[in-house]
Structures are given as structure tokens and as C-alpha cells.
């Protein structure tokens, strides 16, 4: 399978190449149809994409790409676990292609093992808020303040500068250094 291919081999295919059973019972661990697959997983996939691109437009495009690539070859007789693993594998290759296509290198990537565990939780949740709070707690007061104002309070750079009683130029520099510091902390933690 090519790394860029958004269509890994479909669950339900017989890996041995032998005859695939034609009839399947629909048990409690399978989906009845593509709609059930879609509705149970669209938010899960979107959350993963958003957490890796940070904006709605890209998250929507990439989520769309995942389902449009994955649903056709998917067999609804595949187990829920197989379906989610397949969606995740597709999401990983779609995201990798997105970064290489638009930015030339991979900025974020999906850790399929970690995300797989999240996907199986009965109600998908995001622990991003808690992660960000923990990250801010590890920064100096000024670094934490500029990032809090810009990202959590959605302040413009001028508003953030005014709130911190510094010039716009200094706010830009502070933001850049704060991001670098946050990245270093994040890198050390992962």
C-alpha cells in the first residue's frame, strides 16, 4: 500500500485471498449500513482532524475526504473495531498527504494507536482543553498570558498587546517565543 493512498485494504477482505463468505450476520459489534458507520464515526474523525490542523475548513475537507474514500470499499459486515481501524488508517494517510501537498512537510501526524483507544470510548471526548491548560501551567506567566489571550480569548494581536501593556511588535515577538517554548515542552512530553 502506498503511504499516500487513502484506501488501505478494506476490512472484510479475506487476507488469505480465499473465498469470502457471502452471508454475514449483523451482530451487536457490526454496523447495519453505511449511514450507521458514518453517524457513529463522523464526529470522532472530525475531532481527530481538527486536533491535527487547528481550523474548521481544513478539518471539514479532510473529514470529507476520509469518508468519501473509505465508505465505498468498506463492507458493513466488518466489525466496529475493523471499521474504526480502517477509518483511522485512511485519516492518517489523508492528513499526511494534506501537509505534504500544501506545506511541503508533515507538521502533524496521527498516532493511530493512541487515537484508536479514544475512538472506542462510548462517547467521544476531547481532552484538548485539559492538555492546553496543563501546557500553559508550565510556561512563564508572560508566555502563558499571550497564548491564553490569543488562542483561548481569541484576542487580536493589538488587543493582546494592549491587555499586556506592551507594543504590538513586542506582542508578536512574545507570541513567537511562547509558541516555541510551548512546542519544546510539548515535544518533551510526547
Partner 1 sequence: MSSRRIAGFVEALRRNRRPKRFDAKPEDVEAMRAAIEMTSGRPGATLPSSDFINDLHNRIAEQLDEPTSSPRPTSLISRRAAIGGLSAAAAAAVAGAVVDRELLRPSSTLRVASSQELVPDEGSWQPVVAENEVAPGQVVRFTTASTVGFVVNDGGQLSAISGVCTHQGCLLRHNDAEGRLDCPCHRASFSLQGDVLRHQFPQPIPALPHLQVRTRDGQIEINDARTA
Residues in the site for partner 1, rule: CB under 8 A? 34-36, 38-40, 42-44, 46-47, 50-60, 63-64, 67-68, 71-72, 102-105, 107-108, 122-126, 128-133, 135, 147, 150-154, 156-157, 172-173, 175-176, 179-180, 182-184, 186-187
CB of 16 to partner 1, least distance (A): 28
CB of 85 to partner 1, least distance (A): 19
CA 85/CA 164 separation, integer angstroms: 46
CA 162/CA 177 separation, integer angstroms: 18
Of 41 and 93, nearer to partner 1 (C-beta) is 41
CA within 13 Å, CB half, 175? 21
CA 116/CA 110 separation, integer angstroms: 10
CB of 116 to partner 1, least distance (A): 17
CA 79/CA 171 separation, integer angstroms: 51
β-strand partners of 30: 79
Of 19 and 152, nearer to partner 1 (C-beta) is 152
Amino acid at each position: 500500500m502506498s503511504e499516500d493512498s487513502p484506501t488501505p485494504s478494506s476490512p472484510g477482505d479475506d487476507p488469505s485471498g480465499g473465498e469470502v463468505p457471502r452471508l454475514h450476520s449483523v451482530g451487536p459489534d457490526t454496523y447495519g449500513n453505511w449511514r450507521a458507520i458514518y453517524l457513529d464515526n463522523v464526529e470522532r474523525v472530525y475531532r481527530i482532524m481538527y486536533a491535527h490542523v487547528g481550523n474548521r475548513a481544513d478539518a471539514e475537507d479532510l473529514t470529507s475526504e476520509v469518508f468519501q474514500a473509505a465508505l465505498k470499499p468498506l463492507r458493513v459486515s466488518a466489525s466496529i473495531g475493523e471499521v474504526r481501524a480502517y477509518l483511522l488508517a485512511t485519516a492518517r494517510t489523508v492528513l499526511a498527504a494534506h501537509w505534504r501537498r500544501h506545506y511541503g512537510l508533515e507538521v502533524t501526524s496521527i498516532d493511530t494507536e493512541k487515537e484508536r483507544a479514544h475512538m472506542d470510548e462510548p462517547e467521544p471526548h476531547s481532552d484538548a482543553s485539559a492538555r492546553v491548560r496543563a501546557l500553559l501551567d508550565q510556561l512563564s506567566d508572560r508566555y502563558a498570558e499571550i497564548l491564553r489571550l490569543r488562542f483561548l480569548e481569541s484576542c487580536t494581536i493589538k488587543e493582546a498587546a494592549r491587555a499586556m501593556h506592551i507594543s504590538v511588535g513586542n506582542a508578536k515577538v512574545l507570541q513567537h517565543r511562547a509558541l516555541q517554548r510551548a512546542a519544546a515542552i510539548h515535544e518533551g512530553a510526547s
